[in-house]
Amino acid sequence: MTDVFGDLPGQDAVVAQLRRAVGAASALLAGQRPEPGAMTHAWLFTGPPGSGRSVAARAFAAALLCPSGGCGQCASCHQVLAGTHADLLLIRPEGLSYGVKQTRDLVLRAAGKPTGGRWQVVLFEDADRCTEQAANALLKAIEEPAPRTVWLLCAPSAEDLVPTIRSRCRVVTLVVPASSAVAKVLIERDGIEPARALAAARAAQGHVGRARRLAVDPAAARRWADVLRVPLSVTSLGPALAAAAALVRTAEEEAKAVTEELDEPERESLRRAFGEGSTGKGVAKAMRGMAGAMKDLEDRQKSRATRVKRDTLDQALLELALFYRDILMVQLGAEVELANSEAELRKVASASSPEGTLRRLQAIMRCRERLTLNVAPLLAVEEMTLSLAEG
């Protein structure tokens, strides 16, 4: 039986730190003397994408709110993990950044008392997406914390936040977990066959959710296969353009699958909250309220879909870059763990030079940069595959 910290492979130091904090927090609530310095009211979770920043923050929130320190079994733990706990304010950016109004509302709510008598936890995912004004509103709240409020911010690195906020948070740094640690979770918890689990863990470079998706989701597996076909297939103009089209299309399909999986349960729970299907007094009024809430939800889902689409294509480009990095390692004879199958790598490695591989890596990085500048995806990716074909 695992508790709420069971989903953080390879993060033993972080888990130990958080457990100490949970112990100190419980002591505080019980009026006992806590371990000095173990608990504080503002935390910043950092680490590369997929290392589990928000998983760690969510687990910590569950442990703080659970009467048994994060058992993973009780109603409180389930509510935190499902994001429905009354003392958990779960904040995600509307659109691509947090606005000042959204942050002010949050700061007001965070000043309240916990309903469950333990803590009020504010979990701010992607805190680096705060606008400057929003960051100022947030800073005030963190400077003058309500006694029972705990702030959990997540960002890729501490440098992504303004120094004034950063300096008031305890920084928790997650590391990239070893492929073997990620594979172990896939094997033990998801029942995935060992060879496939290890291949997926390596390709995902320590990104746990990504590794799981590669191992179990056919759309992700298809996209992965498409990426790996690119280096072998881009030999001239025609195949390069075809590879670009395939890459963009499968990334979009995967993003769509990911988005749909998230969207429908959200719409469903909103309909349930408004009591759809019931009859009697006040139903017509409730239905009108639901239409407004549904519109809000759909707007949020739409901007999330845009973000997922961008992230999925970027992920494909990173996998491609990883393939060429492996090629370079093979060409230079370096002794490192390779993410891709060595037989495939040797074929490409023997047909090109290290200089050519470096140029290709640069073309991939240029493409990623162009996508952040909102160049049409197909255009940017075509330009890249043409550079790959030239060598």
Q: How far is the CB of 71 from Zn ion (least distance, A)?
A: 4
**Taking CB under 5 A as the criterion, which residues in 316-345 touch Zn ion?**
none
Q: How far is the CB of 89 from Zn ion (least distance, A)?
A: 19
Q: CA–CA separation, 296 vs 302, rounded Å?
A: 10
| Structure tokens that stand for 366 in this block | 């240029």
Q: CA–CA separation, 390 vs 333, rounded Å?
A: 24
Tally of CB atoms within 10 A around 219: 17
Quick one: how far is CA 92 from the chain centroid? 12
Q: Would you say 7 and 55 are in contact if contact means Cβ atoms under 8 Å apart?
A: yes
Q: How far is the CB of 196 from Zn ion (least distance, A)?
A: 33
Q: How far is the CB of 116 from Zn ion (least distance, A)?
A: 12
What would the x/- binding string for Zn ion be over residues 347 to 386, using CB under 5 A?
A: ----------------------------------------
SS3 call for 88: strand
According to the binding rule CB under 5 A, does residue 19 interact with Zn ion? no
SS3 call for 85: coil
Judged by CB under 5 A, which stretch of 9-17, 50-58, 74-82, 378-386 contacts Zn ion? Answer: 74-82
According to the binding rule CB under 5 A, does residue 162 interact with Zn ion? no
According to the binding rule CB under 5 A, does residue 71 interact with Zn ion? yes
According to the binding rule CB under 5 A, does residue 18 interact with Zn ion? no
Q: How far is the CB of 3 from Zn ion (least distance, A)?
A: 8
Residue closer to Zn ion, measured from CB, 64 or 220: 64
β-pair partners for 149: 120
Q: CA–CA separation, 25 vs 31, rounded Å?
A: 10
Residue closer to Zn ion, measured from CB, 66 or 327: 66
Nearest-5° Cα angle at 373, 369 to 379: 80
Count the residues of the shown chain that bind Zn ion, applying the rule CB under 5 A: 4
According to the binding rule CB under 5 A, does residue 77 interact with Zn ion? yes
Judged by CB under 5 A, which stretch of 71-79, 133-141, 164-172, 298-306 contacts Zn ion? Answer: 71-79
Judged by CB under 5 A, which stretch of 65-73, 170-178, 239-247, 282-290 contacts Zn ion? Answer: 65-73
Residue closer to Zn ion, measured from CB, 66 or 174: 66
For Zn ion, the binding residue among 18, 25, 38, 66 (CB under 5 A) is 66
Q: Would you say 378 and 334 are in contact if contact means Cβ atoms under 8 Å apart?
A: no
Residue closer to Zn ion, measured from CB, 64 or 172: 64
Q: How far is the CB of 21 from Zn ion (least distance, A)?
A: 16
Residue nearest Zn ion, Cβ-based: 66
Q: CA–CA separation, 76 vs 68, rounded Å?
A: 10
Residue closer to Zn ion, measured from CB, 61 or 251: 61
According to the binding rule CB under 5 A, does residue 297 interact with Zn ion? no
Q: Would you say 258 and 308 are in contact if contact means Cβ atoms under 8 Å apart?
A: yes
All residues at 6 or more sequence positions from 174 whose CB lies less than 8 Å from its CB, including other chains: 8, 11, 14, 45, 46, 47, 48, 51, 52, 53, 56
According to the binding rule CB under 5 A, does residue 74 interact with Zn ion? yes
Judged by CB under 5 A, which stretch of 72-80, 192-200, 220-228, 346-354 contacts Zn ion? Answer: 72-80
- Among all chains, which residue has been given the structure tokens 């689409």? 309
Q: Would you say 87 and 77 are in contact if contact means Cβ atoms under 8 Å apart?
A: no
Residue closer to Zn ion, measured from CB, 80 or 192: 80
Residue closer to Zn ion, measured from CB, 81 or 348: 81
What would the x/- binding string for Zn ion be over residues 22 to 61, using CB under 5 A?
A: ----------------------------------------
Q: CA–CA separation, 311 vs 108, rounded Å?
A: 32
DSSP, residue by residue, 174-229: --PPPHHHHHHHHHHHH---HHHHHHHHHHTTT-HHHHHHHHH-HHHHHHHHHHHH
Binding site for Zn ion (CB under 5 A): 66, 71, 74, 77
